[in-house]
Amino acid sequence: MRRPINRRYFIGTTAAASLATLAVGASEPRPTGDRRPVAVASGNGLRAVEKAVELARLGYDPLDAAIEGVAIVEADPKDDSVGYGGLPNEDGVVELDAAVMHGPTHGGGSVASLRNIMHPAAVARLVMNRTRHCLLVGEGALRFARAHGFPEVDLLTDHARKVWLHWKETRDPSDDWLPPPKEEVAAYLDDYMKRRVTGTIHCSVLDTHGDLGCATTTSGLSWKIPGRVGDSPILGAGLYLDNEVGSAGSTGVGEANLLHCSSYLVVENMRRGLAPKDAVMEALKRIAQSSIRDPKRRRPDGKTTFNVSFYAVSKSGEFAGGCIYPGGKMAVHDGDSARVVQLDPLFDS
């Protein structure tokens, strides 16, 4: 088995090699149409929507535009919920999940629990284009990525390793890991211990022909049990589209979306005539109502223990997002300019 290369070497060469593999499986641009392109993404996706619309304007396929957009965040060591720099599982290993959907062909592909590959969304596109399957996981997904020339990278940054080590050393006073000396504990480490990171990036793109493409990519829930797969690589849960209707995706606690096929639900809500805003809010209500039947997902006040956010764009170019609790953000490019907006929550607290 090929070993991951060391980080110093990676900085010089592998970033370029990883970026080069982004083109593997992408289509040639076609003449542009006359529609205004639109892209929506989770709040960490401002650069993603800018890139996606730039490419859509050049005639690139909407899925290729979405993949190039999210690749910026996959390669960003400062985003601790996606790709390189993502927080690891409980063993300190970064495991990535990603999926893509392509409107014109209604194709989809995904990878789950993929290690050592910086751009899992691009690998998911190859699962869609170069196999008869929809989902590859773990070692099989890694071998598939290698077969297509994706370089292996140590995805665990020093920052992510330190946060993980702090979690490991402070989680259980009765285990054999001693807490770190107080003087060595930076304030940011304590901040991390107050929450589980569930960030992710989703990006949906409507191109100049009115065709749709979308991608969702994540390192998943921080400190997850090794092998845990969230909603992001599950078509219908972490993303879904229908080229005649619209596209949607989600971030947040993936289990809620697995239990509700949430992105499918948002798109189906649009299919029966709801505007994206109402489609999203209806889905959030459904999740909030049914999840609390399970005591482990119900707070003492009867609301959900978790948050999820949705991002949706319709075939006509209307877009909206929403979340269960305040704090969610959406990056949007409406064809004129890009910005980050606050999402309307279902509940105030």
End-to-end CA distance of the chain: 49
Q: Give the residue, chosen from 100, 239, 253, 266, that forms a contact with ligand GLY under the rule CB under 6 A.
A: 253
Residues with Cβ < 8 Å from 218, sequence gap 6 or more? 81, 82, 86, 96, 97, 98, 199, 200, 201, 230, 232, 238, 251
Q: Does 231 bind ligand GLY (CB under 6 A)?
A: yes
Considering beta carbons, is residue 213 or 252 the nearer one to ligand GLY?
252
Report, in Å, the least distance between residue 122 CB and ligand GLY.
19
d(CA 210, CA 38): 9
* C-alpha separations of 63 from 20, 211, 213, 241 in Å: 17, 9, 4, 11
Nearer to ligand GLY, 53 or 82 (CB): 82
Do β-strands 319-323 and 344-345 pair in parallel, antiparallel, or remain unpaired? Answer: parallel
Half-sphere exposure of 51 (CA within 13 A, CB side): 17
Using alpha carbons, select from 152, 27, 57, 175 the residue that is nearest to residue 96.
152
**Distance of closest approach, residue 222 Cβ to ligand GLY, in angstroms:** 10
The answer to the question of residue 218 lying near ligand GLY (CB under 6 A) is yes
Which CB atom, from 210 or from 230, has the smaller least distance to ligand GLY? Answer: 230
Catalytic residue among 200, 217, 218, 251: 200
Residues contacting 127, CB < 8 A, separation 6+: 109, 110, 111, 133, 134, 135, 136, 141, 144
Q: Cβ(93)–Cβ(128) under 8 Å?
A: no
Rounded Cα gap, residues 288 and 305, in angstroms: 10
* Interface pick for ligand GLY out of 83, 88, 220, 321 (rule CB under 6 A): 220
Give the tokens for residue 57: 């304007």
Q: Work out whether 251 is an interface residue with ligand GLY (CB under 6 A).
A: yes
Using CB under 6 A, count the residues that bind ligand GLY: 12
CA angle 339, 109, 62 (to 5 degrees): 40
Q: Which one, 157 or 198, has the nearer CB to ligand GLY?
A: 198
Query: Of the two residues 18 and 113, which places its CB atom closer to ligand GLY in the complex?
Result: 113
Tell the smallest beta-carbon distance from residue 230 to ligand GLY (Å): 2
Residues 96-135 that bind ligand GLY (CB under 6 A): none
- 200 is known as an active-site residue: yes
Residues constituting the chain: 349
In the bound complex, what is the minimum distance in angstroms from residue 259's beta carbon to ligand GLY?
12
CB of 245 to ligand GLY, least distance (A): 23
Q: How far is the CB of 322 from ligand GLY (least distance, A)?
A: 15
Could you tell me the smallest distance in angstroms from the CB atom of residue 253 to ligand GLY? 6
Q: Which of 85, 254, 321, 328 binds ligand GLY (CB under 6 A)?
A: 254
Q: Which of residues 156-175 bind ligand GLY (CB under 6 A)?
A: none
Query: Applying CB under 6 A, does 151 fall inside the site for ligand GLY?
Result: no
Reference 11, options 105, 85, 100, 115; nearest CA is: 85
- Structural tokens at position 346: 């279902």
Single out the residue of 18, 232, 304, 314 in contact with ligand GLY (rule: CB under 6 A): 232
Query: Rule CB under 6 A: which of 315-344 touch ligand GLY?
Result: none
Under the criterion CB under 6 A, does residue 200 sit at the interface with ligand GLY?
yes
- CA-CA distance, 229 to 233, in Å (whole number)? 8
- Among 42, 110, 113, 198, contact with ligand GLY (rule: CB under 6 A): 198
Residues that bind ligand GLY (CB under 6 A): 198, 200, 218, 220-221, 230-232, 251-254
Active-site residue numbers? 200
